[in-house]
Amino acid sequence: MADRVGAQKGNLMMLSGSFYIPKERSSRPQGDDSHFICEEKQTIGLADGVGGWSSKGIDAGIYARELMNNALMAAILTQSDRQVDPMTVLSEAYSKTKALGSSTACIITLKDDNMLHAVNMGDSGFMLIRGGVVIYKSPIQQHNFNFPYQLGYSSENTDKPSQAEVIKLGVEPGDVIIAGTDGLFDNLSEDQILEAAAEGIEQGLDPEDVAWPVAQRAYNVSMDGQAVTPFMQASILAGRRHTGGKRDDITVIVSRILDM
């Protein structure tokens, strides 16, 4: 499932594309992840419904999709004389989302000041690549191992948008952003993500054509019971010992920063 959009903003523009691989399960074929790319407002977002709700018969993917739909609408409805504020978008989306369940969330926008503004809640996130090197990776927010910060409706175990990490980064033409849910970052290290994306970045391929091999590599590792993964290593540190890849929904959004 791929998508590509882009529009000018200030001196720079953000051209974005995505690829999504839902975890194979007949009960929830759409998976638990959701994302959007808003060309007009130069904004992207993604969410990962917390799978633990399935034990209570709740499809958290519905919450994630409703949250992202509301975030997209909040971005689109931002007044023309104002710029998108990721925290405002996340807060408005959270207040309007009434489905049961909970999810992580990440909202990123390119503003006229040629700065990347973002909010990140939980263990989804993004990397900023410049000259083939990762110069920033958003921190993970979690209460305990595999228990990320999350937004939810009428749940005592969820967090609030105000607790999200607020991020502001300067960007330059040629920079690449790779955003993803934990299905990406739990299975691939920063170096592995760079390796999967490098050829497409160097060839100047469209963002969705860069996102696809990254998502595919994460999927291949997730299905490998012998793989050494970031999730496995984190589990050892937490005294849990997970073996091999982590089967999960995998969302990848790639954004190129271009000089217009």
Model confidence over 84-114: pLDDT tens digits? 999 999 999 999 999 999 999 999 999 999 9
**In this structure, what token pair is assigned to residue 160?**
């609030």
SS (H, E, C) the chain: CEEEEEEEECCEEEEEEEEEECCCCCCCCCCCEEEEEECCCCEEEEEEECHHHHHHCCCHHHHHHHHHHHHHHHHHCCCCCCCCCHHHHHHHHHHHCCCCCEEEEEEEEECCCCEEEEEEECCCEEEEEECCEEEEECCCCEEECCEECCEECCCCCCECHHHCEEEEEECCCCCEEEEECHHHHCCCCHHHHHHHHHHHHHHCCCHHHHHHHHHHHHHHHHCCCCCCCHHHHHHHHCCCCCCCCCCCCEEEEEEEEEEC
Banded pLDDT at 205 (limits 50, 70, 90)? very high
Percent over 90 (pLDDT), the chain: 84
- pTM for the predicted model, two decimal places: 0.94
Tell me which amino acid residue 148 is: P
**What phi-psi label fits residue 132: left (phi over 0), alpha (psi between -120 and 50 degrees) or beta?**
left
Query: Domains in the chain, please, with CATH?
Result: 15-259 (3.60.40.10)
Q: Is the pLDDT of residue 125 over 70?
A: yes
Between the CA atoms of 104, 60, 162 and 76, what dihedral angle is there, to the nearest 10 degrees?
Answer: 90
Banded pLDDT at 235 (limits 50, 70, 90)? very high
